[in-house]
Structure 1
Amino acid sequence: MTAPRAVGVRLPYAAVPARVRDWVDATLGSPVVATAEQVGGMSPGCATRLTCADGTRAFVKAVGDELNPDTPGLFRREVGVLTHLGAHDLWAGLLASYDDGRWVALVVEDVEGRHPDFTDDGELADVLAATDGLVEALAGRELPDAVDLVQVPTLLGRWADSLDSLPTAAPDVPVPAWLRADRRDWAAVLRREAELPMEQVVHWDIRVDNLLRRPTGEIVFVDWGVAARGPAWADPLMARLERVEDPGFDRSVAASPALAAAGDDVVTAFLAGFGAHLAIRSTVAVDVNLPTLNDFRIRESARMLGAVARRTGRHPA
């Protein structure tokens, strides 16, 4: 089975403030009598499947600003996104939300199922087909400006800046020597792409730990905390990153109409820019109560830059 690439250290539900747990009981209409803590993702808050005395089941995630100052903002974004997207079979529906200014909590549909296995070609094909369906489901959907979506053009510009900074980057930035010496025109590709209209709502965080496979095979997308406004090719590319080390990634990219339309240069520039940015962040970021995040950055950067080396006929150095 494919293990989650992102695994943080989470607060158990029993340690969530009583006022939040009381709200959950009142919202569900029955006291919680059993919990099952979930792994995956980097939030320091809880991620817990709940069972109530009357048999009601739900999933709750909750975090406070004393755990991490930024994560409540991600939860507020997810509340806004799910509120305005409404119900759909492709994502877990929002049942209720809580926000007292310090702690933010979401109660969402408890999806019966497990994470898909990306080592199984059939299950991977199901994920990619579901991602194409997600792109179609989100096309043309409007979210109000009050929902603070991540802006992909801004991110592409930052990644371009990261690529441009590599010749003078500190020696401890974990990028291969060949990338410092030869960055092709990938920064320019990213900047050109950032100038194109991007009105599509995208999930932007499709990883195995943010996917569930129902017993009947349907794929459900969860965790919308970094939902963005970006290009239609973004989610199909994100879904393929689970196997970016595999040459099959390149064949899968070529088989996607959205990615084929974007072009190989855009895909390679994305990998180079994202990988370089993560590498630089690994030397300068300050992470509060996220002890595994930096190792995750370094691993993800290495995976992406290794794919760049493969796609350009280079050997990592």
Structure 2
Amino acid sequence: MTVPRAVGVRLPYAEVPLRVRDWVDDALGSPVSSWEEQIGGMSPGCATRVVTADGTRAFVKAVGTELNSDSPMLFRREIEVLGLIGENTLWASLRASYDEGGWVALVLEDVPGGHPDLGDETEMADLLAATDRLVATLREVPVPDGARATTIAEPGLIDVRARFRAWASALDHLAEIPGDLVPDDVRRDPARLRRLVGLLQEGDTQLTHWDVRVDNLLRPEPGRIVFVDWGAAGVGPSWSDPLLARFERVEDPWFDESVARSPVLAEAGDDVVTAFLVAFGVALAWQSTQGPSDIGLPTLNEFRRTQARRALTAAARRLA
């Protein structure tokens, strides 16, 4: 089975401030009588399936600034996006939201089931088909005017191309990154890397989930995949979600074969896919060398190193 790679250290529901838990009871119309903590994801806040005294089921996530100063903004972004996109069987719908005193909380539809096994051909095929439907559905959502976030902690939808530009700046530090993170086939031609990464600024844009990974997927029944956790949602190229959906197997030649079979990725071109892997991998590798892990996220740096190695191993294969 595939298991969530981004395993943070989460706050138990019983330790969420009483005022927030009282709000959950009011939002659901009945007091919470039992709950089950969920793993996966990097937020230090709670991620909890709850059941109320009258049998109502819901999913609750809550975080405060004292746990991590940036995480509440991700929750605010998720509230904004779920309000924008409404209800659909492709994602869990928002039932209520809370934002007071430095704490942000969401009550969401409880989607039964666990994460898909993306090592299973059928379940991976279900994800790829669902991602294509997601891209088509989000393409029809009008993107509001206004500020675009250039970092994860700013208000507004993530400007994906601004993130690409930030990633590209990590190439300036390529020689400083430890050798165990960046293969020689990636290091040997920095000028080629810069030309490739420049391609990421081209093409169309639309609303994107921008965080498609196994932690953020549920499989309530055979043939159905539900996308959760919209805190990183942004405006970016249409190929970004289909590429991320395949990242689970990025070390395997299957990845390259699957990219070639995807109309949206084939249209973007092989060089764009390779450029993404280079930029993403080098940026994560460089971030992982910059001091201690973020407050409340003690496993984040190891996650960055793992994902950097995976992306750059694939990039080296494609560059060669």
Is the TM value for this pair above 0.5? yes
SS of match in other structure, 1:284: coil
Task: Name 1:114's counterpart in structure 2.
Answer: 114
**Partner SS, residue 221 of structure 2:** coil
Which amino acid letter does the alignment assign opposite residue 310 of structure 1?
Answer: R
* CA positional deviation for 1:182: 1.9
Give 2:223's aligned residue. Answer: 217
Give distance in 2, aligned partners of 1:274 and 1:291.
21
CA distance in 1, matches of 2:178, 2:262: 38
Point out where structure 2 has 5 or more consecutive residues left out of the alignment: 148-154
- 1:35–1:49 contact (8 Å) kept in structure 2: yes
User: How do 1:189-204 residues align onto structure 2 when only pairs under 5 Å count?
Assistant: 189-198=196-205, 200-204=206-210
The structural deviation recorded for 1:218 is 1.1
Distance 1:216 1:166 in 2: 44
Aligned with 2:289: secondary structure?
A: helix
Number of matched residues?
A: 311
Question: What secondary structure is seen at the aligned counterpart in 1 of 2:266?
Answer: helix
The answer for unaligned runs of 5 or more in structure 1 is: none
- The aligned counterpart of 2:151 is none
Instruction: Report the 3-state secondary structure (helix = DSSP H, G, I; strand = E; otherwise coil) of the residue aligned with 1:33.
Output: strand
Q: C-alpha separation between the residues in 2 aligned to 1:183 and 1:250? A: 23
Quote the Cα distance in structure 2 between the aligned partners of 1:85 and 1:237: 22
Report the CA distance shift for 1:106/1:249 in structure 2 as closer, same or farther (over 3 A): same
Residue 65 of structure 2 contacts residue 103 of structure 2 at CA under 8 Å; is this kept in 1?
A: yes
Aligned to 1:276: 282
Equivalence for 2:316? 309
Structure 2: distance between partners of 1:15 and 1:102: 15
TM-score normalised by L of structure 2: 0.93
Structure 2 counterpart of 1:179: 186
Secondary structure of 2:79's partner? helix
- Alignment match, 2:35: 35
Work out the CA distance in 1 between the residues paired with 2:198 and 2:274: 14
Q: Distance in 2 between matches of 1:13 and 1:57?
A: 15
Any idea what SS the aligned residue of 1:87 has? coil
Distance 2:273 2:263 in 1: 13
Matched residue type, 1:88: N
Alignment match, 1:207: 213
Which letter maps to 2:125? A
SS at match of 1:214: strand
Q: Does 1:231 align with 2:223?
A: no
Distance in 1 of aligned mates of 2:185 and 2:247: 22
Cα distance in structure 1, aligned partners of 2:18 and 2:251: 45
The answer as to whether partners of 1:95 and 1:107 remain within 8 angstroms in 2 is: yes
* d(CA) in 2 for partners of 1:136, 1:171: 40
- CA apart distance, 1:288: 0.4
Distance 2:130 2:299 in 1: 29
3-state secondary structure, aligned to 1:134:
helix
Equivalent pair of 1:161/1:187 in contact (CA under 8 Å): no
Structure 1 stretch 142-151 or stretch 290-299: which is displaced more? 142-151
The equivalent residue for 1:248 is 254
Deviation track 1:6-41 (CA, whole Å, cap 9, x = no partner) reads: 111100000000000000001100010110100000
Counterpart of 2:317, as a letter, is R
Q: Say if 2:199 and 2:275, in contact at 8 Å, map to a contact too.
A: no
2:301 and 2:223 map into 1 onto residues whose CA distance is 34
Deviation at 1:186, TM superposition (A): 2.9
CA shift, 1:142, in A, is: 1.5
- 1:190-228 Cα distance to aligned partner (Å, 9 max, x none): 324315442x00001001110011124311000000001
Q: Tell me the secondary structure at the aligned position of residue 51 of structure 1.
A: strand
**8 Å CA contact 1:164, 1:187 repeated in 2:** no
User: Are positions 1:58 and 2:58 aligned together?
Assistant: yes
TM-score (norm 1): 0.94
C-alpha RMSD of the superposition: 1.6
Query: Does the 8 A contact of 1:160 with 1:188 survive in 2?
Result: no
Answering whether residue 157 of structure 2 is matched by residue 149 of structure 1, we say: yes
